[in-house]
Amino acid sequence: MDRLELPGVTWRRVSPRLVWVELVGGAGFLVVVLAVGVVMVLLQVWIPVVVLGVLAAISIVNLALTPRRVRSIGYQLREDDLLFRRGIMWQRFVAVPYGRMQLVDINRGPIARGLGLSELKFVTAAAAAGVTIPGLPEAEAEELRDHLVSVAESRRAGL
């Protein structure tokens, strides 16, 4: 049961600080679930308690796996295309030629901004296939954006 691995690719990893962003998000969800669960216990409605318990267990496992999941995110700037991967259980690889770029977004959430991180979104004409690279240090994200725009310009393709 070997994992999928593309030969001859050295991945650039995203910042490990992204773990904290993901952890805070996951923990927030967990707190909400627990709070609702406590209310349900007080009200003595047991079916929702079971459901919420399962949800809480899943989100705890999810939190525990966060560091590995963040480590699994990687990208590589090849000669003519951008290669991106993420996921451990559900692995996903995408290759996008630079010339297909329609626009690049940089987004910063409140927690990520506190940690100096940005999320870069590479949008093509295919709605389903946008590549989103989270957890890039701000300077790196802007540099990457400028690089992507310039290579997309020189390799422009039609729709």
Partner 1 sequence: MSEPEISVPTAAPAAVPEVVARLTDGEWHRLHPATPLLKGGFALIVVLGYVVSNLRERLLGMFLPRFDDGGDPVDYVVSHGIILQVLGGVALLLVVLISGFYVSWRMHTFRITSEVVEVRSGILFRTNRKARLDRIQGINIVRPFISRLFGAAKLEISQAGNDANVHLSYLSSAAADDLRREILRRASGTRAAEKVAAAVTGSLIDRRVNELLAPELDPDAAPPESVVKIHLGRLFGSMFLGTGTVIAVLVVIGATIWISLSGDFFVLFFALPSIIGFGGYYARKFSQSLRYTIAGTPDGVRVGFGLFSTSNETLPPGRIHSIEVSQPLLWRPAGWWQIRVNRASHTSSRGSANQANTTILPVGNLADVTAVLALMLPDFIGGETGHFIESGMTSKGADGFTNSPRRAAWLRPFSWKRNGFAIVPGSLVLRKGAIWRRLIIVPQPRLQSVGLHQGPLLRRLRLASVHLHTVHGPITAELGAVDQGAALAFFAEVSDLAVLSGQADTSHRWRSGELPA
The residue within the footprint of partner 1, chosen from 31, 50, 64, 157 (CB under 8 A), is 157
- Of the chain, the end-to-end C-alpha distance in Å amounts to 39
Residue 108, CA distances (Å) to 66, 114, 116, 121, 137 in order = 19, 9, 9, 11, 11
Residue 11 interacting with partner 1 (CB under 8 A): no
Contacting residues for 127 by C-beta, under 8 A, at least 6 apart = none
With binding defined as CB under 8 A, does residue 10 bind partner 1?
A: no
* Residue 158 binding partner 1, by CB under 8 A: yes
How many chain residues are in contact with partner 1, going by CB under 8 A?
30
- The CA distance from 128 to 37, in Å, is 35
Of positions 6, 31, 35, 149, contacts partner 1 by CB under 8 A: 6
Which has the closest alpha carbon to 12: 144, 153, 110?
144
**Binding flag, residue 92, partner 1 (CB under 8 A):** yes
Residues between 100 and 139 that touch partner 1 (CB under 8 A): 100, 124-129, 131
Asked if 72 touches partner 1 (CB under 8 A), the answer is no
The CA distance from 102 to 82, in Å, is 14
CB atoms within 10 A of CB 117: 23
**The only residue of 97, 109, 116, 137 in contact with partner 1, by rule CB under 8 A:** 97
Minimum CB separation of residue 152 from partner 1 in Å reads: 11
Catalog residues that contact partner 1 under the rule CB under 8 A.
Answer: 1, 3-4, 6-7, 80-81, 83, 89-97, 99-100, 124-129, 131, 155, 157-159
